[in-house]
Amino acid sequence: MSKIIVDNRKARHDYYLLEKFEAGIALVGTEVKSLRAGRANLTDSYAQIDNGELFLYNMHISPYEQGSIYNVDPTRKRKLLMHKREIMRLLGKIKEKGLTLIPTKIYFNRGKVKVEIALAQGKKLHDKRAVQKEKDAKREIDKALKAR
């Protein structure tokens, strides 16, 4: 059973999510306490591979109120924990197709903090408009059927 802490809804709007992966994340104690309180933000965050290691950039975890000197920089880069062969597979896909890694959600799984990252391809402006048009049309149809 897993409890979702943060969901990155903007990622679904800005990217086509092709494949999803689960990764652990290396955190400090006060960061875990802030996550338990639900004080995190995934907007504009991304994952990148540096020297064979996977890191998460621009994820904001608000400082823990009772943390005092133990609080760290809210937007520091955080190491994601995956097997080496999985990271190398991701690296191959990123270089080959020009894809990117986007975190889609953070959740607790059996007491451990996990990050779901997705292999994503950016949407163009006209793609976003087409998706919005489809949503509006579906909403209108549902509304018309409900009014009957």
pLDDT tens, N- to C-terminus, the chain (148 residues): 578 888 888 888 888 889 999 999 998 878 888 888 888 888 889 999 999 899 999 988 888 877 677 677 788 899 999 999 999 998 988 887 878 999 999 999 988 999 999 998 888 888 788 888 988 999 999 988 887 7
Burial class (CB in 10 A: 0-12, 13-18, 19+), 67: middle
pTM of the entire structure? Answer: 0.79
State the total domains in the chain: 1
The distance of Cα 95 from the centroid of its chain, to the nearest Å, equals: 20
The residues, any chain, with a CB within 8 Å of residue 5's CB and separated by 6 or more, are 35, 36, 38, 40, 105, 106, 107, 108, 113
Residue 111 identity: G
Which residues constitute the domain of residue 135? 2-147
Provide the CATH number for the domain around residue 123: 2.40.280.10
pLDDT (0 to 100) of residue 130: 86
